[in-house]
Structure 1
Amino acid sequence: MTTITTEAATIARWDDVQHALTGGGDGASCQCLWPVLTNKDWQQTTTPERTEMFREEIDAGPPPGLVAYVDGEAAGWIRIGPRTRQARLPRTRMIAAASTEPFDDESVWAVTCFVVRREHRGTGLNAELLQAAVDYARASGARLIEGYPVDTRGEKQRSNDLFHGTLGTFLAAGFEERVPLKPGRALVALDLSA
Protein backbone atom coordinates (compact mmCIF):
# COMPACT_ATOMS: atom_id res chain seq x y z
CA MET A 1 0.00 0.00 0.00
CA THR A 2 1.29 3.45 -0.96
CA THR A 3 1.88 5.97 1.82
CA ILE A 4 1.48 9.66 0.99
CA THR A 5 2.62 12.36 3.41
CA THR A 6 3.19 16.09 3.13
CA GLU A 7 5.62 18.40 4.86
CA ALA A 8 6.19 22.14 4.92
CA ALA A 9 9.04 23.23 2.66
CA THR A 10 11.85 24.25 5.01
CA ILE A 11 15.51 24.66 4.16
CA ALA A 12 16.16 21.24 5.72
CA ARG A 13 13.97 19.83 2.92
CA TRP A 14 15.66 21.81 0.13
CA ASP A 15 16.91 18.69 -1.69
CA ASP A 16 13.40 17.21 -1.54
CA VAL A 17 11.88 20.42 -2.95
CA GLN A 18 14.36 20.26 -5.82
CA HIS A 19 13.64 16.56 -6.41
CA ALA A 20 9.91 17.30 -6.58
CA LEU A 21 10.43 20.18 -9.03
CA THR A 22 12.79 18.38 -11.37
CA GLY A 23 10.72 15.36 -12.36
CA GLY A 24 9.70 16.63 -15.78
CA GLY A 25 8.14 19.84 -17.00
CA ASP A 26 8.95 23.45 -16.27
CA GLY A 27 9.46 23.12 -12.50
CA ALA A 28 13.23 22.90 -12.76
CA SER A 29 13.58 26.16 -14.69
CA CYS A 30 10.73 28.04 -13.03
CA GLN A 31 11.70 27.18 -9.44
CA CYS A 32 8.12 28.17 -8.56
CA LEU A 33 9.03 31.84 -8.75
CA TRP A 34 6.59 32.70 -11.56
CA PRO A 35 3.91 33.76 -9.01
CA VAL A 36 6.44 35.70 -6.91
CA LEU A 37 8.20 37.79 -9.55
CA THR A 38 6.85 40.56 -11.73
CA ASN A 39 7.09 39.87 -15.44
CA LYS A 40 10.03 42.30 -15.75
CA ASP A 41 11.93 40.58 -12.92
CA TRP A 42 11.12 37.16 -14.38
CA GLN A 43 12.54 38.14 -17.76
CA GLN A 44 15.75 39.44 -16.13
CA THR A 45 16.58 36.29 -14.15
CA THR A 46 18.25 33.04 -15.14
CA THR A 47 17.43 29.59 -13.82
CA PRO A 48 20.45 29.58 -11.46
CA GLU A 49 19.39 33.00 -10.13
CA ARG A 50 15.81 31.80 -9.62
CA THR A 51 17.10 28.70 -7.86
CA GLU A 52 19.09 30.85 -5.44
CA MET A 53 16.16 33.23 -4.92
CA PHE A 54 13.87 30.29 -4.16
CA ARG A 55 16.40 28.84 -1.72
CA GLU A 56 16.60 32.23 0.03
CA GLU A 57 12.79 32.46 0.19
CA ILE A 58 12.53 29.03 1.80
CA ASP A 59 15.43 29.75 4.17
CA ALA A 60 13.86 33.04 5.31
CA GLY A 61 10.48 31.38 5.94
CA PRO A 62 7.68 30.94 6.53
CA PRO A 63 7.42 27.91 4.24
CA PRO A 64 6.00 29.02 0.88
CA GLY A 65 4.64 25.58 0.09
CA LEU A 66 4.50 21.90 0.82
CA VAL A 67 6.29 18.82 -0.46
CA ALA A 68 4.38 15.58 -1.02
CA TYR A 69 6.14 12.29 -0.41
CA VAL A 70 5.15 8.92 -1.85
CA ASP A 71 6.62 6.13 0.24
CA GLY A 72 9.21 8.56 1.55
CA GLU A 73 10.32 9.95 -1.83
CA ALA A 74 9.64 13.59 -2.72
CA ALA A 75 7.04 13.42 -5.48
CA GLY A 76 5.20 16.74 -5.65
CA TRP A 77 5.05 20.41 -4.68
CA ILE A 78 2.37 23.04 -4.07
CA ARG A 79 2.85 26.80 -3.52
CA ILE A 80 0.45 28.16 -0.90
CA GLY A 81 0.75 31.41 0.99
CA PRO A 82 -0.51 34.95 1.43
CA ARG A 83 -1.26 36.73 -1.84
CA THR A 84 0.77 39.66 -0.48
CA ARG A 85 3.90 37.53 -1.04
CA GLN A 86 2.98 36.66 -4.63
CA ALA A 87 3.71 39.84 -6.59
CA ARG A 88 2.40 38.62 -9.94
CA LEU A 89 -1.21 38.19 -8.73
CA PRO A 90 -2.29 41.84 -8.39
CA ARG A 91 -0.43 42.59 -11.63
CA THR A 92 -2.36 39.94 -13.56
CA ARG A 93 -5.27 41.90 -14.98
CA MET A 94 -7.76 39.06 -15.10
CA ILE A 95 -7.10 38.13 -11.44
CA ALA A 96 -7.07 41.75 -10.25
CA ALA A 97 -10.39 42.37 -12.01
CA ALA A 98 -12.02 39.16 -10.76
CA SER A 99 -11.02 39.07 -7.08
CA THR A 100 -13.21 40.96 -4.62
CA GLU A 101 -10.58 40.65 -1.88
CA PRO A 102 -8.09 43.46 -1.19
CA PHE A 103 -4.59 42.54 -2.30
CA ASP A 104 -3.03 43.93 0.88
CA ASP A 105 -5.01 41.54 3.11
CA GLU A 106 -2.56 39.05 4.69
CA SER A 107 -5.43 36.69 5.56
CA VAL A 108 -6.16 36.00 1.88
CA TRP A 109 -3.95 33.20 0.64
CA ALA A 110 -3.50 31.73 -2.83
CA VAL A 111 -2.59 28.39 -4.35
CA THR A 112 -0.58 29.22 -7.45
CA CYS A 113 1.49 26.21 -8.42
CA PHE A 114 1.39 22.42 -8.52
CA VAL A 115 4.25 20.21 -9.68
CA VAL A 116 4.12 16.41 -9.70
CA ARG A 117 6.99 14.24 -10.85
CA ARG A 118 6.20 12.40 -14.07
CA GLU A 119 6.16 8.96 -12.45
CA HIS A 120 3.49 10.04 -9.96
CA ARG A 121 1.10 11.84 -12.31
CA GLY A 122 -2.45 10.55 -12.54
CA THR A 123 -2.37 9.13 -9.01
CA GLY A 124 -4.38 11.84 -7.24
CA LEU A 125 -1.34 13.52 -5.73
CA ASN A 126 -2.63 17.02 -6.58
CA ALA A 127 -5.73 16.36 -4.48
CA GLU A 128 -3.55 15.28 -1.56
CA LEU A 129 -1.37 18.37 -1.96
CA LEU A 130 -4.38 20.69 -2.10
CA GLN A 131 -5.99 19.20 1.02
CA ALA A 132 -2.70 19.51 2.91
CA ALA A 133 -2.37 23.11 1.68
CA VAL A 134 -5.87 23.94 2.97
CA ASP A 135 -4.97 22.46 6.36
CA TYR A 136 -1.69 24.40 6.40
CA ALA A 137 -3.42 27.68 5.50
CA ARG A 138 -6.10 27.16 8.13
CA ALA A 139 -3.50 26.41 10.82
CA SER A 140 -1.56 29.51 9.73
CA GLY A 141 -4.52 31.86 10.18
CA ALA A 142 -5.71 32.25 6.59
CA ARG A 143 -9.29 33.51 6.25
CA LEU A 144 -9.77 32.69 2.57
CA ILE A 145 -7.85 30.78 -0.12
CA GLU A 146 -8.06 31.61 -3.80
CA GLY A 147 -7.01 29.45 -6.72
CA TYR A 148 -6.90 30.09 -10.46
CA PRO A 149 -7.28 26.61 -11.97
CA VAL A 150 -7.67 25.29 -15.49
CA ASP A 151 -11.04 23.88 -16.53
CA THR A 152 -9.97 20.90 -18.62
CA ARG A 153 -13.59 19.99 -19.42
CA GLY A 154 -12.42 16.38 -19.28
CA GLU A 155 -9.94 16.84 -22.12
CA LYS A 156 -6.30 15.80 -21.94
CA GLN A 157 -3.90 18.74 -21.66
CA ARG A 158 -0.15 19.17 -21.49
CA SER A 159 1.19 18.83 -17.94
CA ASN A 160 3.02 22.16 -18.23
CA ASP A 161 -0.33 23.87 -18.84
CA LEU A 162 -1.80 22.48 -15.61
CA PHE A 163 0.53 24.03 -13.03
CA HIS A 164 -2.39 26.16 -11.80
CA GLY A 165 -4.23 22.95 -10.88
CA THR A 166 -7.49 21.74 -12.36
CA LEU A 167 -10.95 23.07 -11.60
CA GLY A 168 -12.15 19.57 -10.72
CA THR A 169 -9.45 19.17 -8.05
CA PHE A 170 -10.39 22.48 -6.42
CA LEU A 171 -14.14 21.80 -6.54
CA ALA A 172 -13.63 18.35 -5.00
CA ALA A 173 -11.72 20.04 -2.14
CA GLY A 174 -14.68 22.30 -1.36
CA PHE A 175 -13.68 25.43 -3.28
CA GLU A 176 -16.45 27.39 -4.99
CA GLU A 177 -16.17 28.71 -8.51
CA ARG A 178 -16.53 32.49 -8.15
CA VAL A 179 -15.96 33.93 -11.62
CA PRO A 180 -14.48 32.93 -14.98
CA LEU A 181 -11.09 34.52 -15.65
CA LYS A 182 -11.01 33.66 -19.35
CA PRO A 183 -12.13 30.63 -21.37
CA GLY A 184 -10.77 27.56 -19.60
CA ARG A 185 -9.73 29.36 -16.38
CA ALA A 186 -11.67 30.29 -13.26
CA LEU A 187 -11.18 32.02 -9.95
CA VAL A 188 -12.16 29.71 -7.10
CA ALA A 189 -12.23 30.39 -3.39
CA LEU A 190 -12.56 28.56 -0.10
CA ASP A 191 -13.80 30.56 2.88
CA LEU A 192 -12.03 29.21 5.97
CA SER A 193 -13.93 31.51 8.35
CA ALA A 194 -17.25 29.74 7.75
Structure 2
Amino acid sequence: MSRVTVEAASADRFADVQHALTGGGDGASCQCQWWTLTNAQFSAATAEERLRMLHDEIGAGPPPGLIAYVEDVPAGWVRVGPRVRQPRLERTRAFASVSEQPWDDASVWAVTCFVTRKEHRGEGLNAALLDAAVTFARARGARVLEAYPIDPEAGRRHTANSLFHGLLSTFLSAGFREVGRSRPDRVVVALTLEK
Protein backbone atom coordinates (compact mmCIF):
# COMPACT_ATOMS: atom_id res chain seq x y z
CA MET A 1 0.00 0.00 0.00
CA SER A 2 1.08 3.58 -0.62
CA ARG A 3 2.31 5.70 2.27
CA VAL A 4 -0.69 6.56 4.48
CA THR A 5 -0.73 9.18 7.21
CA VAL A 6 -3.67 10.28 9.35
CA GLU A 7 -4.19 13.75 10.81
CA ALA A 8 -6.89 15.37 12.94
CA ALA A 9 -9.34 17.60 11.10
CA SER A 10 -8.56 21.25 11.82
CA ALA A 11 -9.65 24.59 10.40
CA ASP A 12 -6.52 24.80 8.24
CA ARG A 13 -7.28 21.34 6.82
CA PHE A 14 -10.91 22.03 5.88
CA ALA A 15 -10.17 21.86 2.14
CA ASP A 16 -8.62 18.43 2.76
CA VAL A 17 -11.75 17.32 4.64
CA GLN A 18 -13.84 18.40 1.65
CA HIS A 19 -11.59 16.55 -0.79
CA ALA A 20 -11.90 13.38 1.29
CA LEU A 21 -15.70 13.71 1.62
CA THR A 22 -16.43 14.44 -2.03
CA GLY A 23 -14.82 11.47 -3.75
CA GLY A 24 -17.94 9.33 -4.06
CA GLY A 25 -20.84 8.30 -1.85
CA ASP A 26 -22.96 10.62 0.26
CA GLY A 27 -20.15 12.55 1.92
CA ALA A 28 -20.59 15.67 -0.20
CA SER A 29 -24.27 16.07 0.69
CA CYS A 30 -24.16 14.73 4.25
CA GLN A 31 -20.99 16.55 5.36
CA CYS A 32 -20.84 14.04 8.22
CA GLN A 33 -23.74 15.74 10.00
CA TRP A 34 -26.09 12.73 10.04
CA TRP A 35 -25.22 11.74 13.62
CA THR A 36 -25.18 15.30 14.97
CA LEU A 37 -28.73 16.25 13.94
CA THR A 38 -32.24 14.92 14.46
CA ASN A 39 -34.09 13.59 11.44
CA ALA A 40 -36.12 16.80 11.14
CA GLN A 41 -33.02 18.99 11.43
CA PHE A 42 -31.10 16.95 8.88
CA SER A 43 -33.99 16.98 6.40
CA ALA A 44 -34.48 20.73 6.79
CA ALA A 45 -30.80 21.56 6.16
CA THR A 46 -29.40 21.97 2.67
CA ALA A 47 -26.07 20.46 1.66
CA GLU A 48 -24.56 23.97 1.80
CA GLU A 49 -25.89 24.45 5.34
CA ARG A 50 -24.44 21.09 6.38
CA LEU A 51 -21.10 22.11 4.91
CA ARG A 52 -21.18 25.28 7.04
CA MET A 53 -22.12 23.19 10.10
CA LEU A 54 -19.10 20.95 9.60
CA HIS A 55 -16.88 23.96 8.95
CA ASP A 56 -18.06 25.59 12.19
CA GLU A 57 -17.75 22.31 14.13
CA ILE A 58 -14.16 21.84 13.00
CA GLY A 59 -13.33 25.50 13.60
CA ALA A 60 -14.71 25.42 17.16
CA GLY A 61 -12.88 22.18 18.01
CA PRO A 62 -12.14 19.70 19.28
CA PRO A 63 -11.60 17.85 15.98
CA PRO A 64 -14.68 15.74 15.17
CA GLY A 65 -12.77 13.48 12.82
CA LEU A 66 -9.57 12.40 11.16
CA ILE A 67 -8.32 12.62 7.58
CA ALA A 68 -6.32 9.87 5.87
CA TYR A 69 -3.73 10.96 3.33
CA VAL A 70 -2.27 8.72 0.64
CA GLU A 71 1.03 10.16 -0.57
CA ASP A 72 -0.02 13.48 1.04
CA VAL A 73 -3.35 13.62 -0.85
CA PRO A 74 -6.55 13.50 1.27
CA ALA A 75 -8.22 10.17 0.59
CA GLY A 76 -10.49 9.28 3.53
CA TRP A 77 -12.33 10.47 6.63
CA VAL A 78 -13.58 9.02 9.89
CA ARG A 79 -15.84 10.70 12.47
CA VAL A 80 -14.74 9.94 16.02
CA GLY A 81 -15.68 11.75 19.19
CA PRO A 82 -17.76 11.72 22.35
CA ARG A 83 -21.01 9.86 21.82
CA VAL A 84 -22.94 12.66 23.59
CA ARG A 85 -21.98 14.97 20.69
CA GLN A 86 -23.70 12.60 18.25
CA PRO A 87 -27.29 12.65 19.60
CA ARG A 88 -28.84 10.65 16.76
CA LEU A 89 -27.09 7.55 18.11
CA GLU A 90 -29.25 7.48 21.25
CA ARG A 91 -32.37 8.04 19.11
CA THR A 92 -31.50 5.06 16.90
CA ARG A 93 -33.27 2.07 18.44
CA ALA A 94 -30.95 -0.37 16.71
CA PHE A 95 -28.10 1.00 18.85
CA ALA A 96 -29.91 2.24 21.96
CA SER A 97 -31.40 -1.18 22.61
CA VAL A 98 -28.01 -2.93 22.40
CA SER A 99 -25.37 -0.60 23.86
CA GLU A 100 -24.11 -1.46 27.35
CA GLN A 101 -23.01 2.10 28.11
CA PRO A 102 -25.07 4.93 29.66
CA TRP A 103 -25.96 7.46 26.96
CA ASP A 104 -25.04 10.49 29.07
CA ASP A 105 -21.47 9.29 29.74
CA ALA A 106 -19.06 11.68 27.97
CA SER A 107 -16.19 9.19 28.39
CA VAL A 108 -17.89 6.89 25.85
CA TRP A 109 -16.78 7.82 22.36
CA ALA A 110 -18.10 6.59 19.03
CA VAL A 111 -16.71 5.91 15.57
CA THR A 112 -19.67 6.51 13.30
CA CYS A 113 -18.73 7.36 9.74
CA PHE A 114 -16.10 6.38 7.19
CA VAL A 115 -15.66 7.93 3.77
CA THR A 116 -13.06 6.69 1.31
CA ARG A 117 -12.61 8.27 -2.10
CA LYS A 118 -13.48 5.83 -4.90
CA GLU A 119 -9.93 5.71 -6.23
CA HIS A 120 -8.65 4.51 -2.85
CA ARG A 121 -11.23 1.88 -1.95
CA GLY A 122 -9.83 -1.55 -1.23
CA GLU A 123 -6.48 -0.14 -0.02
CA GLY A 124 -7.09 -0.64 3.71
CA LEU A 125 -7.77 3.01 4.52
CA ASN A 126 -10.64 2.21 6.89
CA ALA A 127 -8.30 0.03 8.98
CA ALA A 128 -5.71 2.83 9.07
CA LEU A 129 -8.39 5.37 10.01
CA LEU A 130 -9.76 3.09 12.72
CA ASP A 131 -6.32 2.50 14.23
CA ALA A 132 -5.78 6.27 14.31
CA ALA A 133 -9.26 6.81 15.81
CA VAL A 134 -8.47 4.42 18.66
CA THR A 135 -5.21 6.25 19.38
CA PHE A 136 -6.95 9.64 19.12
CA ALA A 137 -9.77 8.64 21.50
CA ARG A 138 -7.40 7.07 24.03
CA ALA A 139 -5.15 10.15 24.07
CA ARG A 140 -8.16 12.36 24.78
CA GLY A 141 -9.43 10.36 27.74
CA ALA A 142 -12.10 8.15 26.21
CA ARG A 143 -12.94 5.19 28.45
CA VAL A 144 -14.80 3.14 25.82
CA LEU A 145 -14.93 3.44 22.05
CA GLU A 146 -18.14 2.16 20.50
CA ALA A 147 -19.08 1.61 16.84
CA TYR A 148 -21.99 0.30 14.77
CA PRO A 149 -20.60 -1.63 11.80
CA ILE A 150 -22.31 -3.72 9.17
CA ASP A 151 -21.81 -7.49 8.96
CA PRO A 152 -22.06 -8.28 5.23
CA GLU A 153 -21.72 -11.98 6.03
CA ALA A 154 -25.22 -11.92 7.58
CA GLY A 155 -26.79 -12.37 4.16
CA ARG A 156 -28.30 -8.95 3.54
CA ARG A 157 -27.09 -6.96 0.51
CA HIS A 158 -25.65 -3.49 1.12
CA THR A 159 -24.79 -0.72 -1.31
CA ALA A 160 -21.38 0.97 -1.07
CA ASN A 161 -23.10 4.06 0.37
CA SER A 162 -24.66 2.06 3.22
CA LEU A 163 -21.25 0.84 4.36
CA PHE A 164 -20.29 4.20 5.86
CA HIS A 165 -20.63 2.54 9.29
CA GLY A 166 -17.62 0.37 8.48
CA LEU A 167 -17.38 -3.41 8.26
CA LEU A 168 -17.52 -5.69 11.28
CA SER A 169 -14.32 -7.48 10.23
CA THR A 170 -12.34 -4.22 10.37
CA PHE A 171 -13.42 -3.62 13.96
CA LEU A 172 -12.84 -7.19 15.11
CA SER A 173 -9.34 -7.09 13.61
CA ALA A 174 -8.68 -3.92 15.64
CA GLY A 175 -9.61 -5.67 18.90
CA PHE A 176 -13.22 -4.55 19.30
CA ARG A 177 -15.65 -7.05 20.80
CA GLU A 178 -19.20 -7.62 19.68
CA VAL A 179 -21.71 -6.26 22.21
CA GLY A 180 -24.85 -7.38 20.40
CA ARG A 181 -27.04 -7.12 17.33
CA SER A 182 -30.38 -5.48 16.72
CA ARG A 183 -30.72 -7.52 13.52
CA PRO A 184 -28.36 -10.03 11.90
CA ASP A 185 -26.36 -7.47 9.90
CA ARG A 186 -26.37 -4.53 12.39
CA VAL A 187 -23.78 -4.87 15.13
CA VAL A 188 -22.73 -2.80 18.13
CA VAL A 189 -19.05 -3.25 19.02
CA ALA A 190 -16.93 -1.75 21.79
CA LEU A 191 -13.30 -1.41 22.79
CA THR A 192 -12.30 -0.61 26.37
CA LEU A 193 -9.54 2.01 26.39
CA GLU A 194 -8.91 2.30 30.11
CA LYS A 195 -5.45 1.30 31.28
Same fold (TM over 0.5): yes
Matched residues in 2 for 1:112 and 1:10: separation? Answer: 19
8 Å CA contact 2:4–2:69 kept in 1: the answer is: yes
Q: Specify the SS of the correspondent of 2:165.
A: coil
Matched residues in 2 for 1:179 and 1:67: separation? Answer: 29
| TM-score normalised according to structure 2 size | 0.96
What is the aligned partner in structure 1 of residue 117 from structure 2?
117
| TM-score normalised according to structure 1 size | 0.97
Deviation at 1:158, TM superposition (A): 2.1
Matched residues in 1 for 2:100 and 2:40: separation? Answer: 26
Matched residues in 2 for 1:26 and 1:152: separation? Answer: 20
Matched residues in 2 for 1:182 and 1:11: separation? Answer: 39
Q: Specify the SS of the correspondent of 1:193.
A: coil
Q: Which runs of 5+ in 1 are unaligned?
A: none
What is the aligned partner in structure 1 of residue 12 from structure 2?
12
Q: Which runs of 5+ in 2 are unaligned?
A: none
What is the aligned partner in structure 1 of residue 126 from structure 2?
126
What is the aligned partner in structure 1 of residue 24 from structure 2?
24
What is the aligned partner in structure 1 of residue 89 from structure 2?
89
8 Å CA contact 2:154–2:185 kept in 1: the answer is: no
Describe how 1:1-194 pairs up with structure 2 within 5 A.
2-153=2-153, 157-194=158-195
1:61–1:173 CA distance, 2 compared to 1 (3 A): same
Deviation at 1:154, TM superposition (A): 8.5
Aligned-residue Cα RMSD (Å) equals 1.3
8 Å CA contact 2:77–2:129 kept in 1: the answer is: yes
Q: Amino acid of the residue matched to residue 185 of structure 1?
A: R
